[in-house]
Amino acid sequence: MSQLHYALHFIQRWDRQLCVRLNRTLRFSAVLHAFRAVSRLGDGIFWYSLMLALLLQYGRDAAFAVLHMALAGAACTITYKAVKRRTLRPRPYEVMSVVSRGAAPLDAFSFPSGHTLHAVAFTLIATAYYPMLVVILVPFTLLVAASRVILGLHYPTDVLAGAAIGALIAGVSLY
């Protein structure tokens, strides 16, 4: 077995094991309800509310930041849909019978996590303009990322890839 093959096998095994372990926490109803709520907020409600709140709080001064977030969000959507169409990775609950689906998916495929991709991009852009938001946005983004695996909708590598793509889009847009 080549080193590359061994490394890929190791990553795949880790990915599946961590997915199963985190998904098992759904047996606690408080975990299920909390992470469903976080995931639902991460569908866009939280981010659109943030943009509206910035406009209400700072008026015209927030317009450029909100426009920046909206344009980055569009770039994120285009990017993650293109990647999903090429990779066609099934969701964990479809592949592993021990993984429970904790929420309905928004689309058919797993890789990358669009929720995480958007959360990271929006967090990086919003905190570039309003650094004081880091105490709210970073924990929320981490909860969104965790929710995707806990709810059985994504593998950890889907979330890591989504975070990396979101950071890349935000970084390029801020540069």
- pLDDT of 104 reads 87
In sequence order, which ranges of the chain are alpha helices (DSSP H)? 3-23, 29-40, 46-58, 63-87, 92-95, 114-129, 134-150, 156-174
Integer-rounded Cα radius of gyration of the chain: 17
Class (C level, CATH) for 3-174: mainly alpha
pLDDT at 1: 62
Domain boundaries, the chain: 3-174
Under-50 pLDDT residues of the chain = none
pLDDT by residue (tens digit) across 99-140? 999 898 888 889 999 999 999 999 999 999 999 999 999 999
**Residues 123, 141: contact at Cβ < 8 Å?**
yes
- How far apart (Å, rounded) are the C-alpha atoms in residues 158 and 166? 12
